[in-house]
Amino acid sequence: MLRVLGRRLATGAVTLLLVSALVFGLIHLAPGAPPGAADEGIRSLGAEATAELRALYHLDRPLHERYVLWLSDLSRGDLGRSFHDRRPVADKIAERVGTTLLVNGLSLALMALLAVPLGALAALRPGSWSDRIGGCASFALYALPVFWAAILLQMLFAARLDWLPLAGVRSQGWELLPPAARVADRAAHLVLPVACLSYGGIAYLSRFVRAVLVEGGLAESRRAARARGRSESGVVLFHGFRLAGVPLLTLAGFLLPALVSGSVIVETIFALPGLGRLFVEAAFQRDVPVLMALTLLTGTATLVGTAAADLTYAIVDPRVRRGKA
């Protein structure tokens, strides 16, 4: 068990290193180099000033040297400073990671809470009318583009009905409110973004759960239980978990990076100061240090997620434990 873990960690570290080198190279290979030559504003400073600035940002060094520099800073826990505003990258991420974690965490939780019962319900009577209608609804939801749904939800619940706030993470004057009202205000701001982020996942996951359960013969087990006069719900629960548990855990492992990567569209429409927006802004600004840090973050989350999924596999499924995991 420990050896499995150790090996995962070692390969994970190597993968991260490779990913970071690749991304570093790709950013610099992409046309429109980081600040300097292409930046109209910097050009207006004149040739001498431009050269001085490029030196300040180490842009005068060859690519591999810059990468090594970045790595050595990283090994000291220093993510560097943003090219765009010279603020420490760690600060920029720290002030935004909370929003993204909260919104994405809530939507993941909502997905899990709704998708499993919905999928199980559909799997009990595969091919029935309720299953078909549920299926159609899932596909429709899954196909619904987020940017459109977000705007419609805003128009209905915020602009027309005035039940929920339009955008942002809190109201103005929030700090003057009593604690309970503050929490309520934050919660109200989260409703629409979380709904937008989760409906597609709920639709997808419920179909996934249904497929796993139908294939595993949940309906048959239930029929058998009924024939034997045993508790139906107990069988459904037991078989449901046994069948869908492992695939769902794997999926959860893959969903972990989504927790930190943030959603550009939802964060932009609802004016949420999250990591998705930061990433896009950084990409447009060719803000290499911020891009590298965010890549590292998502990469780590991906590796941790898949490793965690593998380990839970090993715990849940004895074949994996003994075999060649």
List contacts with another protein (CB under 8 A). 31-33, 37-50, 52-53, 56, 81, 84-87, 92, 95-96, 99, 151, 154-155, 158-174, 176-177, 180-181, 184-185, 187-188, 268-274, 277, 284, 286
Q: What type of residue sits at position 125?
A: R
* Angle subtended at Cα 170 by Cα 164 and Cα 171, rounded to the nearest 5 degrees: 75
Identify which of residues 44 and 75 has a Cβ nearer to another protein in the complex. 44
By beta-carbon proximity to another protein, the closer residue of 61 and 321 is 61
Give me the least distance between CB of 145 and another protein, in Å please: 15
In 54-204, which ranges are E strands?
A: none
Task: Report the amino acid identity of residue 176.
Answer: L
User: Shortest distance, CB of residue 264 to another protein, whole angstroms?
Assistant: 10
Closest to another protein by CB, 86 vs 319, is 86
Name which of 21, 122, 118, 6 is nearest 66 in CA terms.
21
Least distance from another protein to the Cβ atom of residue 174, Å? 6
CB of 307 to another protein, least distance (A): 32
- C-beta of 29 vs 227, nearer to another protein: 29
Nearer to another protein, 99 or 306 (CB): 99
How deeply is 236 buried, as exposed, middle or buried, from its count of CB atoms within 10 A (0-12, 13-18, 19+)? buried
Q: How far is the CB of 157 from another protein (least distance, A)?
A: 10
Non-local CB neighbours of 205 within 8 Å, separated by 6+ positions? 111, 112, 115, 116, 119, 248, 251
With tokens 């949940």, the residue in question is 218
Dist. CA 270–CA 182, nearest whole Å? 19
